[in-house]
Amino acid sequence: MNNNWWIHVLVAAIASVLIVGFIKVAGAQGADILISIVLIIIGILFHFIPSIIAVHRNHKNKVGILLLNFFLGWTLFGWVGSLIWAVLQDADREKEKNGIRNVHESDEKECPYCAEKIKNKAKVCRFCNNSLS
């Protein structure tokens, strides 16, 4: 189905050759620099995970999340806060997308065994312990 797999192999091979070549030319110090660069890139990527999530999901407050992530992301509070914001508001958006249906439809159903109200997602009834799957 995917005929482009060899491009990835090719890119990986070229990248490997370049990295190995770089280390051989630049020596041990070069390897240290390379590792530092890789660590910095990973660090930056990790730092901007909330922004990446927000942009990827087209979050309605993505600008706010980006700003919070950018200015306070280096603090644990700012990072966790923007991450939670990026994920939480998205759940609201999902509800909005489902619209009126979600307003009228409750998230509960009736257990077929004991007729008690239980959650739609329940796999086991919390009243009679019967399996619903």
Residues that bind Zn ion (CB under 5 A): 111, 113-114, 125, 127-128
Least separation in angstroms between CB 116 and Zn ion: 5
Least separation in angstroms between CB 108 and Zn ion: 12
Measured CA to CA in angstroms, residue 99 lies from 32, 63, 103, 113 at distances of: 54, 24, 7, 31
What is the DSSP annotation of 48-98?
Answer: THHHHHHHHTT-TTHHHHHHHHHHHTTSHHHHHHHHHHHHHHHHHHHHHHH
Q: d(Cα 96, Cα 116) in Å, to the nearest integer? A: 29
Nearest to Zn ion of 11, 128 (CB atom): 128
Nearest to Zn ion of 58, 131 (CB atom): 131
Least separation in angstroms between CB 119 and Zn ion: 12
Nearest to Zn ion of 41, 114 (CB atom): 114
Q: d(Cα 79, Cα 64) in Å, to the nearest integer? A: 13
Least separation in angstroms between CB 66 and Zn ion: 47
Nearest to Zn ion of 72, 125 (CB atom): 125
